[in-house]
Amino acid sequence: MLVKVLRNGIGGIWQLGDLITRPTKMQRSAEAQRAVDNACTELALYQLPRCPFCIKVRRNMHKLNLPIELRNVQPGSPYRDELEAGGGRVKSPCLRITEHGEVRWMYESNDIIAYLEQRFA
């Protein structure tokens, strides 16, 4: 219980810090941004709003100007069940990647960021 309270408190501070210090978005031509927007429809980030690792990934998404769907996996959420059924475990952040009709689940924040930078930067 104490760990949960501390995690939520610290997460709230991180969340506020993120809002205050967000980097500027990457600028692309309208055509290039449309291509990125279309590619992002194949992605979904399963996350918790106050999780520091999720905040780290969302900051990177903001910087790269990626409109990836955010799916909150708090207890009781249908996305939580979806994450467990598809990815095999409830751990956030997790990026769901659909490529060529196949679904892949990527769990580590640094791996997610490296993937997004490699694909969209």
Q: How far apart are CA 86 and CA 76, in angstroms?
A: 17
**Is residue 1's pLDDT more than 70?**
no
Which domain covers residue 10, as residue numbers? 2-120
Strand boundaries in 1-121, DSSP class E? 43-47, 69-72, 94-99, 102-106
pLDDT of residue 23: 78
Instruction: Count how many domains the chain has.
Output: 1
pTM above 0.75, yes or no: yes
pLDDT of residue 25: 87
Q: How far apart are CA 108 and CA 22, in angstroms?
A: 21
pLDDT of residue 67: 97
Pairing of strands 43-47, 69-72: parallel
Phi, psi of 97 (to 5 degrees): -115, 125
The domain that holds 99 is classified in CATH as 3.40.30.10
Q: Between vectors from CA 10 to CA 9 and to CA 15, what angle results, nearest 5°?
A: 100
**Is residue 19's pLDDT more than 80?**
no
**Is residue 5's pLDDT more than 70?**
no
